[in-house]
Amino acid sequence: MTAAGGPERAGLSIGAVLSRLRPDFPDMTISKIRFLEAEGLVSPDRTPSGYRRFTEADVARLRFVLAAQRDHYLPLKVIKEQLDRAGGPPPEAFDRPTRGLAAVPTPARAEPVPARMPRADLLARAGADADLLADLEQYGLVRAEADGWFDADAFGVVKTAAALSEYGIEPRHLRAFLAAADREVGLVEQVVAPMYRQRDPAARARADELARELSGLTVTLHSLLVNVGLRRVTGK
């Protein structure tokens, strides 16, 4: 009940939504949900008291967005355009987004990205050539493991760099992103490093959660600052 005696709107709280998503997306945080809301990927109702209230459709939409990022490394702008164009993800596509939401003809689940893969597989999956990968390695944006294989994060970097290269943005231009990321990691490390040095397992668990929260906040801030800068460029 509200202070005025009226009922609050029914729906799921942001904490309840987090509990629904965490089993499939362990790195999900409340900050990430707020970030996706700020980016227009989901629009929960608000109670008279100002609390968010999510519907089952909101949860499904968030699940689709997270799977699209995780399994296909699609930019949020592309995901939002697809969802808006389709009026929302079809129910059978919640766990297997593609680049064309209207073209999801079968119930087969999208092939997941392996945790590790050899160089040839990485290039084939990312749609990149060997020269691009060599340049990314040269500039420190991608690093093979000791056995020469690459992890899923490396795959994401290569796939994104391949997409950027289509616009004339080369690996040498991406060094600024690496430098900015290193500075952000340094800030997070200052906060969580003392907690990781404790022997208490609970303290380390809190450090893991705090690191995820801070990561989400830095992503949000970075995105907002880029949007502000782009408004100066576009005049909008």
Fold for the domain defined by 1-108: Multidrug-efflux Transporter Regulator; Chain: A; Domain 2 (1.10.1660)
Q: Give yes or no for residue 202 having a pLDDT over 90.
A: no
DSSP E strand boundaries for 126-166: 150-151
Task: Report the pLDDT value the prediction gives residue 38, as an integer from 0 to 100.
Answer: 87
* pLDDT 10s digits, 159-171: 999 999 999 999 9
**In the structure encoding, which two tokens stand for residue 90, read together?**
């079809």
Task: Report the pLDDT value the prediction gives residue 50, as an integer from 0 to 100.
Answer: 84
Are 114 and 122 in contact by the 8 Å Cβ rule? The answer is no
Cα distances (angstroms) measured from residue 15 to each of 64, 77, 109: 18, 25, 28
Task: Report the pLDDT value the prediction gives residue 200, as an integer from 0 to 100.
Answer: 82
Q: What percent of the chain has pLDDT over 70?
A: 86
Rounded Cα gap, residues 158 and 137, in angstroms: 10
Q: Tell which residue, 105, 114, 17, 13, has the closest CA to residue 66.
A: 17
Handedness of CA 183, 213, 153, 92 (dihedral sign): negative
Question: Tell me, what DSSP letter sits at residue 54?
Answer: B
In the block, residue with structure tokens 């990149």 = 128
Task: Report the pLDDT value the prediction gives residue 111, as an integer from 0 to 100.
Answer: 58
* pLDDT 10s digits, 12-58: 999 999 999 998 888 888 888 988 898 889 999 988 888 899 999 99
Rounded Cα gap, residues 171 and 152, in angstroms: 19
Q: Tell which residue, 71, 92, 57, has the closest CA to residue 25.
A: 71
Are 44 and 37 in contact by the 8 Å Cβ rule? The answer is yes
* Whole-number CA gyration radius for the chain: 20
Instruction: Name the more confident of 99 and 228.
Output: 228
In the block, residue with structure tokens 């950027």 = 164
